[in-house]
Amino acid sequence: MQMSVTVLLENHADNNGCMAEHGLSLFIETPGHHILFDTGASSLFARNAAKMELELFGADSIVISHGHMDHGGGIAKALREASNANIYLHKNSVSPCYFVKNGKKKYIGFPDSALKALGEADEMGRAIYLEDDKKMSENSMIFTSAKFADPDLHSNLFREYPDGEIDHDDFSHEIFLMVEGDYSSCLFAGCSHSGILKIIEDARGKSKKPLKHLFGGIHTGEIGTGKINSLAANFADSEMQFFLGHCTGIIQFSELHRTLGSKLNPLHTGANFTLEI
C-alpha cells in the first residue's frame, strides 16, 4: 500500500513559499483514508495546505495527539476546512494545561476558539472523545500509552485535574496513530511525552505488521548527549526509518543523525514523503 505524508506545519520551513511556526501538522493519504494529524498552533497549517494545492476538504478524519496549543490551536479552522471529517481526541485533552518555570505559570492548552469549535462539533456528533484504543478504518487505529508517562520529559508541564488541583501532567490525554499497510505499519506521535521507546513497544504489541516507520516529535529537545546516544543506539538496532522534527530538538537531531545516518529524515514545512508500507 502506498502512503503519502505531507508536512503542513513544523517549526522550520524550506524555501518553498510555506511558513513555519512552533507546532506540528501532517496530512496522511492512503488509498482508503485521508487523515489530518494535528493542526499546529494556528490556522497557518491551512494556508500552507492551500499554498501546496492540497485540499483539506478531502480529509476523512482529524486526529489531535494531545491537549497542547501547538498541536490543537488550529482545531476551529480544521473543522471548517475538513467539514466532512470527525475529530478524534482524548477526553482529557480539553483540560487546562500549563508550563511552569520559576514559579510562573503559562497556559499552553487549547485556545478558546478550539474549545468553542469542539463544543459545536460535539453537538453535531463530529467530536469523538476517547478513553481507550479506537479503530478508525481497516488500516488505521488510535491508541494511548500515557499510563507510563516519563517524568524526566515533562517536569515543567502541568495540568488541571477534575478536582481542580494543578499538578504534574500524567499525559493521559496523549494518543497515537498507527497506519497498517500490506507488509508494515507506521506510527505517528505528536510529542511522545509518554517516552518514545515505551510508545514504540506498545505500538509493536498492537500492530499485526512489523513497525517500520515513525513520524513526529519525540520530546528530546532538552535531554543530554548521554541519553541521546543511548536512544540512537536503540533506534539503530531496529529496522525502523525515522521522520522526526518539532520537539526533537536541532542539536539532538544532529546527535541522532551521527548514529542513524540515512535511517533518520528531518521534517520541515512543505516536505512530502511517499512510502510503500
DSSP secondary structure string for all residues of 69-134: HHHHTTHHHHHHHSTT-EEEEEGGGGS-EEEEETTEEEE-S--HHHHHHHHHHHHTT-EEEESS-E
Query: 108: which 3 cell numbers?
Result: 499552553
- Closest to 52 measured CA to CA, from 113, 82, 7, 83: 7
Distance between alpha carbon 234 and the CA centroid of its chain, in Å?
A: 21
Q: What is the pLDDT of residues 75-85, one digit of tens each?
A: 999 999 999 99
Q: How confident is the model at residue 151 (pLDDT cuts 50, 70, 90)?
A: low
Q: How confident is the model at residue 15 (pLDDT cuts 50, 70, 90)?
A: confident
Q: DSSP string of 16-37?
A: SS----SS-EEEEEETTEEEEE
% of the chain residues with pLDDT over 70 = 97
Query: 218: which 3 cell numbers?
Result: 519525540
2-276 — its CATH code? 3.60.15.10
* CA gap 31, 27 in Å, rounded: 13
Which element (helix H / strand E) includes 257? helix 250-260
Q: What is the pLDDT of residues 181-205, one digit of tens each?
A: 999 999 999 999 989 999 999 999 9
* CA gap 269, 272 in Å, rounded: 9
